[in-house]
Structure 1
Amino acid sequence: MNRRTTSLVLTIGLTTTLTLTACSSPNVPELKVSDSYMPRPVSDLGAGFLTVTNSGGADDKLTSVTSDISDDVTIHRTENQKMQEVKSFDIPAGGALDLERGGSHLMFMNLKSRPAQGQKVGIELHFEKADPIKVELPVKETTYNPARH
């Protein structure tokens, strides 16, 4: 091969590699929400439960929650039967974040109204990397506790 042909082959190879690299998406979180519910509140406090599954290739974090029903929605971890507000929850790549009764959960303070069983409460989950996700929490009976597998 002469120099001109070698340069052309190298240029085409480099361009192809750069093009393929540009088309490949980086590892990103791919989040899906399931098993969401809110037990019917009996005071001006409420709790929310759900699972966020991350089928993507990058970790993410749940950083906040907003809702029309409360101006103060916080996220809590329960350890050794003690509830503590936290800034975020990790959602590992290929894993899940389970917010369930007796464990970590969403806490709705100073409810503007008490939703009745059968209604739905709209929330928006905010993450460190992924776009926000809107979720409707079906309001279940106060003692509702689904069986987890």
Structure 2
Amino acid sequence: MNRRTTRTLAAALSLSAALAISGCSSDSGSDSGSGDGKPSLSVSGGYMPEPVNDKMAGAFMVIKNDSATADKLTAVTSALSGDVTIHETKDQKMQQVQSLDVPAKGELKLARGGDHVMFMGLKNQPKVGDKVTVELRFEKADPVKVELDVKERTYKPQNAN
């Protein structure tokens, strides 16, 4: 083989490997839902218990991933507070984390006593019946805007375990 043949063969093998790795095909069954390889995420059951004061509040919801690609919740923003963070609860201890996993073909449950979103230094104090808009940011998926219903402080969703 000469040098040119070797380069051509190497380029062809590289291209074949890249196509195999990327899963290139004309089949629309990529499970991403968006056609661009990004995870397909949806949010349900979003709510915020009415805050006791304007110092802090929590938010809860279920983020469902219908795609075959896992993702991570990396940030939450809201006009209600300039300090919105993601928290996990392990061994009954709450701690701020950089991200939470949204598994492929699964869901991330943000619930009382577990993982949740935390708002500090509220700009106003929402009341029962109000709506609070948040934007969820992910490692791979496009941002998702969610309207949280402000519920009674003792509210528990029907499907909560």
- Establish whether residue 21 from structure 1 lines up as the match of residue 31 from structure 2: no
Match of 1:35 in 2: 45
Q: Give the TM-score, by structure 2 length.
A: 0.76
Q: Give the TM-score, by structure 1 length.
A: 0.82
Find the aligned partners of 1:46 and 1:39 in 2 and give their Cα distance: 7
- Establish whether residue 144 from structure 1 lines up as the match of residue 155 from structure 2: yes
* Match of residue 121, structure 1, among 100, 123, 132: 132
Find the aligned partners of 1:82 and 1:39 in 2 and give their Cα distance: 20
Moved over 2 A (4+): 20-28
Find the aligned partners of 1:28 and 1:78 in 2 and give their Cα distance: 28
Give the paired residue count. 131
Letter in 2 for 1:34: S
Output the aligned Cα RMSD. Answer: 1.8
Find the aligned partners of 1:137 and 1:94 in 2 and give their Cα distance: 24
Gaps of 5+ in 2: 1-23, 29-34
Among all aligned residue pairs of Structure 1 and Structure 2, give the percentage whose two residues are the same amino acid: 53
1:21 CA displacement:
2.5
* Match of residue 111, structure 2, among 95, 100, 124: 100
Partner deviation per Cα, 1:22-59 (whole Å, 9 max, x = no partner): 67556531100001000000022000000000001100
